[in-house]
Amino acid sequence: MASTNSFNTTVLFKQEKGFGYRIPALLYIPNTGTLLAFAEKRLGSRDEDADVLMLRRGTYKKSLKNFEWEDVTPIESARLKDHRSMNPCPVYDNNTGTVFLFFIVVYGNVSEQHQIKTGENVTRLCFVTSKDKGQNWSSPTDVTNPNIKKWATFAVGPGHGIQLKSGRLIIPAHAYEKQSDGQVMSRVFTFFSNDHGKSWNCGDFVSREECGECQMVSVDQYNGFDILYCNARSIKRGDKQCRVQAVSTDGGCTFTDVSLVKMLVEPPNGCHGSIIHFPASKLAGLNIYHVIKNYHLEQKKKEKDTSELTENFEIILFSHTTNFKSRRDLGMYLNTCPGSFHTWTEPWIIYPGPSAYSELAFVEFPGEDIPLVTCLFECGSKSECEQISFSVFQVDEVIKNILKETTD
């Protein structure tokens, strides 16, 4: 697995004396050239040391083929008294022009493990909103309901949510469900809204495989139906673990086809990853389109998929650490067969070294021929939590490098 350092990389959040940053989230506001990069500020190395959510706003500069970033600022309204704010999970409502920033708040320094052990949930679900691309934020809305309090604990994301073509907003989440024998099981599900954030509901838990932190994409199938694909962190322990996947055909209310993805590896204790998608038609004017189209055709043949090859198949990208033994060697994988999520490529390594949580965004601008893929990720030279860096790639470069790894 080869790697590259030829792309533009900027450190957005760096460990300082007395504090550091973790848990990146990234949101592109369509047709604006604005990226919002979020992270937790932590006063120590533990999850219990989380403090407040931080933001940097980036503006795309065509002359630089990159973003210029404003200073790091705290989102002071994204907190409750005596609680720490964690797990930024933003989503953009195209219908209303509203950014929703979901997060959890945890009372005092109570740990996740303590909540799991005792079954006493001290975590709440909140969001703040912005109508001006993240310059100003509302006061927090607490949407914790009695059903949520029945769980041992829970979390959203981290990383971005999505909006379906129907307008439904989806926030990926997982909860530790109490069992009749006193144990708990980690289950993935969705929070969703059908009324542009006025009310929120819970989907059913994903069954069969225990899994945790997750992200989702909604992709078109050749038969005209949409499927919601979930890619989640495995809770299992042991040698050579891999990611968990599931599929929903009802917009995240229920999930089926739960399975393990052997191509997508997990390090010991797992790690968070990010997933995005875009239609191949976005590349129709680029040389890489014919390359990816031929690759897609070959994958369909391998899967014995006899459906008609359309011009507008989907491209899915997934970022995650690629080493079985430790959190390191962040890479990107590719898939073009939404009907079969086992046809992942080999990874293209974008950061060869200690790395952990990552967050992807697909970015396209009016007047720019080549869309971008951006990645916000934890990394360092000795430890994966030294800084949170941002890299920007042209989408044709990403596809070319990934396919090179697969065909070499």
Catalytic residues: 47, 357, 378
Instruction: Name residues whose C-beta falls within 8 Å of residue 146's C-beta, 6 or more positions apart in sequence.
Output: none
Cβ 209 vs Cβ 233: under 8 Å: no
- Ordered DSSP codes for 169-193: EEEEEEEEEE-TTS-EEEEEEEEEE
By C-alpha distance, which of 15, 18, 1, 10 is closest to 35? 10
User: Element (H or E) spanning 401, and its range?
Assistant: helix 395-407
Checking DSSP bridges between strand 123-130 and strand 141-142, what pairing results, if any? Answer: antiparallel
By C-alpha distance, which of 241, 316, 231, 265 is closest to 1? 265
The amino acid present at 291, given as its one-letter code, is V
User: Residue 318: exposed, middle, or buried by beta-carbon count in 10 A (0-12, 13-18, 19+)?
Assistant: buried
Report the Cα 53 to chain-centroid distance in Å.
Answer: 17
- Ordered DSSP codes for 248-314: ESSTTS--EEEEEEEEEEE-TT----EEEEEEGGGGTTSTHHHHHHHHHHHHHHHTT--S---TT-E
Angle between helices 395-407 and 288-302 (to 10 degrees): 40
Cβ 24 vs Cβ 16: under 8 Å: no
For residue 135, the 8-state DSSP code is: S
Give the separation between CA 269 and CA 27, rounded to whole angstroms: 27
Q: What is the CA radius of gyration of the chain?
A: 20
Strand partners, 100: 91, 129
Tokens at 240, concatenated: 């050579």
What's the N-to-C CA distance of the chain in angstroms?
A: 10
